Structure 1
Amino acid sequence: PLGATEAHGPNAPIGEDIFLVTRMAEAVAERTGCTVSEPLWWGSHPYHHLGMPSTVVIPEEVFTGFLRAMIAGFWNMGFRKQILLNGHGQEYVIPTAIHQFGKRYRVPALVINLNWYHAVQDHFKLKAQGGPYETPFIHADEVETSWCLALFPELMKQEWAVDNNPFGFLPEGHVDKAGNLLRRPINWYGHIGAGPIEVKAYIEGVVGKPSLAKAEKALPGVEALLDYIERLVTDIVKTFPPGKLPPMELVTERDKEELEAVLKGPARGGKSLYSLGWPP
């Protein structure tokens, strides 16, 4: 699970993004028996988050380095099939770390970045589109808070919720919102200056109306998401059962002899991944 430490309003914990994906991962583990690692508590942030109280901003180069080290460490441990389940607006950074790992080590592996909100996009529709929500998904708002109430209600204090009115500088239709779910031409992270920074416009830590949140609005989406992740895990295990990986002759140019030593691993008389290079 990948999250962040970030302000989500007085009604929600600063670990909200982490708690969301950790609860999701635990639920899928109960269904499939897959292993869930400790979450990554700190994340990368876009410019407009900078300066917000309770938001810990990790520089991109530090974050990608940490992810590479995590992927490498788990690979060396024997976990060569990994799903990086992301719950925070850093989906534009995570793939960089995955590809940097691939270029650095060039070993057979399956490393997937899954952003939970991309897996069930039909479950974020507004009432006018046949969905349950009155406002679009942005941050710590009606949508995200509804998912929190469905997954960890014991950590929420809805009587403390405060609302505000999100705005941008350009007319609607150009810049997308969270998850790029509206399919607009410009990704939500594809600009600076098309909207305000949070510390100036949204000091409450919310961008929208969390007071409208209800668990029942999110429950169908939660079930659909868990079903999808279960299917993903099941398909991975069917395609690559324990001990099987993508075919080395098709996924790397390294020599077979060099790979066999690190695939065997140090505990079985082989070599560690780091014999191919350090740092990750």
Structure 2
Amino acid sequence: MHPLHHNREVVDLSTYQSRFSIPILNKFGEKIYLDQMTISEIKERLEKTDIIFVPCGSIENHGLAAPVGEDTLIGTYIAERVAYETGVTIAPPIIYGSHPSHHYGMPGTIPIKKEAYIDYVVSVIKWLSNTGFKKIVLFNSHGQEYVLPIAKDKAIIEEGVHAFIMVTSWWAWVRDVLIAGKELKPGLVLETPFIHADELETSVTWYVAEKLMRLDKLKESDAEKLVGVIPDKWVDKAGNVYNRPFSWFDVSHYMEIHHYPKGSVGYPSKASKDKGEVVVEEAVKRIVEFVEWLKKEYPPGKVPKVWPEPGDFKY
């Protein structure tokens, strides 16, 4: 048997398991991920809950210290924690994402054309609904929150999907926590605004995927200088946590490849695992509370009527 080098250790292939073959279970001992279930297990799950999370991430340059799959790693981690507690299902993540124009050209960033991405997400929604998942949460963890609602509406109006579709991003649940200068807990302060591959995002990745980090590259990954086309008082940062007139995605930005060639739009050297823990655990707690409400308010088979009937249109 040939040895395989995995995580810098020699693994005997006779006992090796790929990451997709290891069962991920909730606290009830049941499978979390749709792709790991048999059809009989899916039917059993739908009798308990027809809620499914679809993590929507990206492959994107996140600086010298963090993996290019950072967005997907964060989203799937939080979704898994929620599913562990609540018993809901997670669809395989949509790993490649749509990107705003200023991301284009960065090595390691794999943008999908918006039209292709939207149509792909619509198909996922449509056939999850056909399978019986009638409450579908598009759980975003990448800067594409302005694209996903289009897929939601297109699925209902153009494809006739009869399901309750929700779009949210992990940071939307903790916007009040993400204010720069605010104390996360006694003695622990988020020093800089959330942007990209910065203090906050690196802290979160450090907490959820430490083994994939290059902590020796944190300082080297820091941006030389932050630049903006319009003064900050008018344009929001990632997550739109400051309620400024322009959302971050409403304006064109300087190209990252010109101004942030290392990939970090911020200062990863200010990151810490403790900061990531506070943010993630608060997000998980709040999302779990919502999901438990959703399960109680809309048990399996009960779906709010959020779609039109053919006779509704008079054109």
TM-score range with shorter-chain normalisation? 0.7 to 0.9
Q: Find the aligned partners of 2:276 and 2:129 in 1 and give their Cα distance.
A: 34
Please tell me whether residue 84 in structure 1 is matched to residue 142 in structure 2. Answer: no
| Aligned residues of 2:57 and 2:71 also touching (Cα < 8 A) | yes
Other-structure match for 1:126:
180
Other-structure match for 1:40:
94
Greater RCO (CA < 8 Å, at least 6 residues apart) = 1
Q: What is the root-mean-square deviation in Å for CA atoms of aligned residues? A: 1.4
Q: What secondary structure, in the 3-state scheme, does the structure 2 residue paired with 1:231 have?
A: helix
User: How many matched pairs?
Assistant: 250
| Aligned residues of 1:107 and 1:252 also touching (Cα < 8 A) | no
Other-structure match for 1:189:
249
When normalised by structure 1's length, the TM-score is 0.86
Runs of 5+ unmatched residues, structure 1: 256-280
Other-structure match for 1:269:
none
| Aligned residues of 1:10 and 1:160 also touching (Cα < 8 A) | yes
| Aligned residues of 1:106 and 1:254 also touching (Cα < 8 A) | no
- With over 3 angstroms needed to count, the CA separation of the structure-2 counterparts of 1:246 and 1:172, relative to structure 1, is closer
Other-structure match for 1:97:
151
Q: Find the aligned partners of 2:272 and 2:294 in 1 and give their Cα distance.
A: 34
Show CA shifts across 1:83-142 (max 9, x none): 111000000000001000010233431111111111111111222x43421111000000
Task: Tell me whether 133-142 or 158-167 shows the greater mean CA deviation.
Answer: 158-167
Other-structure match for 2:61:
7
Task: Tell me whether 235-244 or 207-216 shows the greater mean CA deviation.
Answer: 235-244
Q: Find the aligned partners of 1:229 and 1:33 in 2 and give their Cα distance.
A: 13
Q: Find the aligned partners of 2:238 and 2:259 in 1 and give their Cα distance.
A: 17
Aligned partner (choices 45, 60, 64) of residue 114 of structure 2: 60
From the two aligned structures, give the one with the greater strand fraction.
Answer: 2
Q: What secondary structure, in the 3-state scheme, does the structure 1 residue paired with 2:82 have?
A: helix
Q: Find the aligned partners of 1:134 and 1:110 in 2 and give their Cα distance.
A: 38
Please tell me whether residue 246 in structure 1 is matched to residue 304 in structure 2. Answer: yes
Q: Find the aligned partners of 2:292 and 2:60 in 1 and give their Cα distance.
A: 32
Q: Find the aligned partners of 1:122 and 1:163 in 2 and give their Cα distance.
A: 25
Q: Find the aligned partners of 1:216 and 1:136 in 2 and give their Cα distance.
A: 17
Q: Find the aligned partners of 1:158 and 1:136 in 2 and give their Cα distance.
A: 21
Q: Find the aligned partners of 2:77 and 2:241 in 1 and give their Cα distance.
A: 23
Aligned partner (choices 142, 145, 162) of residue 202 of structure 2: 145
Show CA shifts across 1:138-157 (max 9, x none): 00000101111111111111
Q: What secondary structure, in the 3-state scheme, does the structure 2 residue paired with 1:84 have?
A: strand
Please tell me whether residue 163 in structure 1 is matched to residue 226 in structure 2. Answer: no
Show CA shifts across 1:220-243 (max 9, x none): 221211112112211111111112
When normalised by structure 2's length, the TM-score is 0.76
Other-structure match for 2:74:
20
Q: Find the aligned partners of 1:47 and 1:135 in 2 and give their Cα distance.
A: 24
Equivalent AA in structure 2 for residue 94 of structure 1: L
Other-structure match for 2:236:
176
| Aligned residues of 1:108 and 1:246 also touching (Cα < 8 A) | no
Other-structure match for 2:28:
none
| Aligned residues of 2:156 and 2:307 also touching (Cα < 8 A) | no
| Aligned residues of 2:134 and 2:301 also touching (Cα < 8 A) | no
Runs of 5+ unmatched residues, structure 2: 1-54
Q: Find the aligned partners of 1:251 and 1:172 in 2 and give their Cα distance.
A: 39
Q: Find the aligned partners of 2:307 and 2:261 in 1 and give their Cα distance.
A: 47
Equivalent AA in structure 2 for residue 229 of structure 1: I
Q: Find the aligned partners of 2:140 and 2:299 in 1 and give their Cα distance.
A: 24
Equivalent AA in structure 2 for residue 60 of structure 1: K
